[in-house]
Amino acid sequence: MAIKGTAIVTGAGSGIGKCVAQALLRDGWNTVFCGRRTEPLEAAISETLDTEAKGLAVSCDVSSPEQVENLFRTAAEAFGRIDLLFNNAGMGCKAAPIDEIPVESWHEVLGVNLTGSFLCARAAFGAMRRQEPMGGRIINNGSISAHAPRPGSVPYTTTKHAITGLTKTLALDGRPFDIACGQIDIGNALTEMAAPMAAGIPQANGSVAVEAVMDVQRVAEAVVYMAGLPLDANVLFMTVMATKMPFVGRG
C-alpha cells in the first residue's frame, strides 16, 4: 500500500479522535496522534497493527499556541509535510442555564473547541500553503450542535456554530493554495462521552429520553472518505448520525 500522506488528528487519545486516527493509519496515512497525555496516544497506536504507515504520538494542549507550533513542527520533521488535519479535540461542560455557567467554564470550552481549532487550522494552513507541492485538506469536527442545541449548552453550542464559520472561511481562503476544508457534523456516535444517551438524556420539552446511537466506526469511515478525495473535490459539509436520533425533530 502506498503512503497516502501525513495526517494529524487532535483529540486522538479516545473516542472519535482515536477511532479516526486508527482508521487513517490503517488506510495508509502516516498519522500523528495528538492529545494532552502521551500514554493513551501510544496505546492507540500500539492497537493498530500491521500497517505500512507509521503512527506518532505527540502530547499537545491545542489551546496553547506554543504547543500547537511544536506539534506541527514535530510532524513535519518526522514525515516531511502535512496533508491532512482532522480538527477534532473538543470538550463540553455541565449543562446549565447561562446564568449558572461559570465564566471559567466558558473560557475553558472556547479555549479548546474554538481557539484550539483556530490554532491548529492556522498551523496546518501555513504548512500546506508553503510546502511543495502545496495543498492539503482540513476537516473540522462540527456537531449536530452546529445546527441545533441541546438544553443548557451555551458554551459548547456557541463554539460549534463558530466552527461552521471557520470551515466556510477556510474553504474560501484555501482556494488559491489547493487547500480544501470541510466539516463533519456527528450525531450520537457511541463513545464514552455519548454513553449517557443510552440511559436517557434531557430533551427540549423537559422530558428525559433514551436516544439511538451508532457505532463510532461509521464516523471513521466517513472521515476516511472525505480525506481520500482528490484536492479538486471537497465535501464541504457532511452529517453522519444515528438514523433514529431525534435531530430532525429536535425541539
- What's the distance, CA 108 to chain centroid? 17
- Which cell is 159 given? 463554539
pLDDT of residue 41: 98
pLDDT of residue 251: 54
Annotated catalytic residue, options 79, 112, 156, 211: 156
pLDDT of residue 209: 87
What does residue 213 show for φ and ψ, rounded to 5 degrees? -130, 165
User: Do residues 236 and 167 lie in contact, with contact meaning Cβ atoms separated by under 8 Å?
Assistant: yes
All structural domains of the chain with their residue ranges = 5-241
Q: pTM of this prediction?
A: 0.94
Distance separating alpha carbons of residues 228 and 11, to the nearest angstrom: 21
Q: Is 151 exposed, middle or buried (CB count within 10 Å of its CB: 0-12, 13-18, 19+)?
A: middle
Known catalytic residue at 156: yes
User: Do residues 72 and 124 lie in contact, with contact meaning Cβ atoms separated by under 8 Å?
Assistant: yes
> What Cα–Cα distance (Å) separates residue 134 from each residue in 126, 131, 174?
10, 5, 11
CATH number of 5-241: 3.40.50.720
pLDDT by 10s per residue, the chain, length 251: 789 999 999 999 999 999 999 999 999 999 999 999 999 999 999 999 888 999 999 999 999 999 999 999 999 999 999 999 999 999 999 989 999 999 999 999 999 999 999 999 999 999 999 999 999 999 999 999 889 888 899 999 999 999 999 999 999 999 999 999 999 999 888 887 777 777 788 888 888 888 888 899 999 999 999 999 999 999 999 999 999 988 887 55
pLDDT of residue 191: 82
